[in-house]
Amino acid sequence: MSRVEVEQGYFGQFGGSFVSPELQEVLDRLAEQFERYKDDPDFKEEYLYYLREYVGRETPLTYARNLTEHLKGAKIYFKREDLNHTGAHKINNAIGQILLAKRMGAKRVIAETGAGQHGVATATACALFGMDCTIYMGAEDTKRQALNVFRMELLGAKVVPVSKGQGRLKDAVDEALADLVANYEDTFYLLGSAVGPHPYPSMVKHFQSIISEESKRQILEKEGRLPDAVIACVGGGSNAIGAFAHYLEDEEVRLIGVEPDQAATLTEGVPAVLHGFRSLVLLDERGNPRPTYSIAAGLDYPGIGPEHSHLKETGRAEYVTVTNEEVLEAFQLLAKTEGILPALESAHAIAHAIRLAPTLGRDRILLVNLSGRGDKDVEQVFQMLNEQGADA
């Protein structure tokens, strides 16, 4: 990415910041502080210290020998973000942003959460750094995800149910932004994906790029060359942009993002401003955000990080969809062949790899980002498979 794009917060026609003047002032200060610290050697050293000593990085790049032999095609490697402390890639970003919050003198951290995964990562980072933590969560979501609410409370966070609007993720974001505007002097808003107004998409990318920084070094050590494709699931787009970042300039490496077919923002979206930034958005005939659905709660979002919209428009990355059936099959096949239970989100990326690998020669390499572990999804998979059994 060029310097100009970073400064203006634009990725081609996408990105930017469309917010109230009050919020813009707060975001300008955040952008300035992020620019100041992101390449600061002390800051970087502290970030890498916590990733190593607390999160458990670097994560392995595992050759999936059994799955590869089963599919009889391209070699499949998994970048194991599931092995991070708290079980997914979200903690990379939470640690990075909380260190910035500390440098900016914040005493209080707030965040939005949908299914609760980002809320748990934020509450974890706040416990570690002794920060006061408030998580906004749609009232509907607090009911559906009662155990994650309890998890956040165990970690010392205050969870505020939001019943305004539809009581969903979007309403939780609005409440968090209102809190930020009212309390910006001591409060830091720790956003969970590569979405939102500038500087959030660039900041989240920066802290998630550790994924491809490591994977590139690892694949060169193991294979002596770059992969033919990098595959990642896409919700708001943070694990995917982190997995793509260090390959963006290697034109021979295909970058493939995988969406649920019922939340296919990149495949079916149109350019529009939603939640304070311009990106591809799923709209209905009247021009309102279209309701999305995914069996993976972390992918159930009608918007997408602006850089992905740009990568799609320029053709540098490809975006595909998979069905719930393919995801469930991928989940089970990975469990049986490799002894790994993937998050349902990650199983989207695996499902596409399962489709692609047999069409490629055995000398090809696919690098799949395994964004999280699936323990959280076991009960849901149990129910879905029982229903399938009952239907059959």
Ligand X SMILES: *Cc1c(COP(=O)(O)O)cnc(C)c1O
321 and 259 Cβ atoms separated by less than 8 Å: yes
Judged by CB under 6 A, which stretch of 97-105, 161-169, 311-319, 338-346 contacts ligand X? 338-346
112 is catalytic: yes
Nearer Cβ to ligand X (90/151): 90
Residue whose C-alpha is closest to residue 188's, from 34, 76, 5: 34
Residue 86 touches ligand X, criterion: CB under 6 A: no
What is the Cα–Cα distance from 211 to 161, expressed in whole angstroms?
Answer: 33
What is the Cα–Cα distance from 350 to 344, expressed in whole angstroms?
Answer: 10
Residue 346 touches ligand X, criterion: CB under 6 A: yes
Q: Using CB under 6 A as the criterion, what x/- string covers residues 222-251 for binding ligand X?
A: -----------xxxxxxxx-----------
Judged by CB under 6 A, which stretch of 10-18, 56-64, 159-167, 341-349 contacts ligand X? 341-349
Residue 334 touches ligand X, criterion: CB under 6 A: no
Nearer Cβ to ligand X (236/306): 236
Total interface residues for ligand X by CB under 6 A = 19
**Which residue is catalytic, options 38, 75, 79, 90?**
90
Residues 251-290 that bind ligand X (CB under 6 A): none
Minimum CB–partner distance for residue 321 and ligand X (Å): 14
Category of 99 on φ-ψ map: left (φ > 0), alpha (ψ -120 to 50) or beta = alpha
Minimum CB–partner distance for residue 28 and ligand X (Å): 24
Angle at 215 between CA 210 and CA 217, to 5 degrees: 100
Residue 298 touches ligand X, criterion: CB under 6 A: yes
What is the Cα–Cα distance from 191 to 242, expressed in whole angstroms?
Answer: 15
Nearer Cβ to ligand X (193/279): 193
Q: Which residue has the tokens 């502290």?
A: 46
Coil, helix or strand at residue 231: strand
Q: Which two tokens stand for residue 265?
A: 């923002």
209 is catalytic: no
The most distant pair of C-alpha atoms in the chain lies apart, rounded to whole Å, by 59
Q: Amino acid identity of 284?
A: D
Q: How distant is the alpha carbon of residue 251 from its chain centre? A: 23
Minimum CB–partner distance for residue 350 and ligand X (Å): 12
Residue of closest CB approach to ligand X: 372
> Can you give the length of the chain in residues?
392
Nearer Cβ to ligand X (238/324): 238
Residue 299 touches ligand X, criterion: CB under 6 A: yes
Q: How distant is the alpha carbon of residue 313 from its chain centre? A: 20
293 and 300 Cβ atoms separated by less than 8 Å: yes
Residues 111-140 that bind ligand X (CB under 6 A): 117
Judged by CB under 6 A, which stretch of 49-57, 63-71, 248-256, 340-348 contacts ligand X? 340-348
Query: Which residues sit at the interface with ligand X, rule CB under 6 A?
Result: 88, 90, 117, 193, 233-240, 298-299, 343, 345-346, 371-372
The catalytic site residues sit at: 90, 112, 371
